[in-house]
């Protein structure tokens, strides 16, 4: 990533961190070949690197054959991480969201 700051300041940095994360998934059969799923997780909580991270992915699943299925849903992924202070401050507070398509082979 390249940033252009005020007064010609062009900060660059590389950061790595880890977070403990716990998640769950709930599935609800709608009919013979269709089901609704909600997958989510939560982590960070200042035990790892980020202050807070979470993800939610509600989606519909269509198992059109015994060996394959299609998914369509919407994913939300949020990370709030900050370290340092002053000119050495690094802040990454981002919510990424959008539609998602998936294809699964079952074996």
Q: 95 lies in a domain? A: yes
Q: 5 lies in a domain? A: no
Q: 83 lies in a domain? A: yes
Instruction: Show the domain range for 67.
Output: 20-105
Q: 87 lies in a domain? A: yes
Mean pLDDT throughout 19-29?
94
- Which has the higher per-residue pLDDT, 48 or 18? 18
Q: 9 lies in a domain? A: no
- pLDDT for 14: 73
pTM score: 0.75
- pLDDT for 1: 56
If one counts the domains in the chain, the total is 1
Q: 2 lies in a domain? A: no
Give per-residue pLDDT as tens, 44-99. 877 768 888 999 999 999 999 999 999 999 999 999 988 888 877 888 899 999 99
Contacts 24+ apart (CB under 8 A), 81-90: 81/15, 81/17, 81/44, 81/49, 81/50, 81/51, 81/53, 82/51, 83/15, 83/17, 83/49, 90/13, 90/15
- pLDDT for 65: 93
| Confidence bin at 2 (pLDDT 50/70/90) | low
Q: Is 35 in contact with 44 (CB distance < 8 Å)?
A: no
């Amino acid at each position: 990533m390249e940033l252009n700051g005020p007064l010609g300041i062009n900060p660059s940095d590389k950061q790595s961190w880890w977070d403990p994360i716990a998640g769950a998934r709930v599935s609800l059969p709608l009919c013979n070949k269709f089901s609704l799923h909600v997958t989510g997780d939560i982590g960070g909580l200042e035990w790892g690197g980020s202050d807070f991270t979470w993800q939610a992915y509600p989606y519909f699943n269509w198992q059109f054959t015994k060996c394959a299925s299609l998914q369509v849903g919407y994913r939300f992924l949020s990370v709030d991480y900050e370290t340092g202070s002053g000119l050495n401050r690094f802040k990454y507070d981002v919510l990424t969201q959008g539609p998602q398509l998936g294809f699964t082979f079952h074996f």
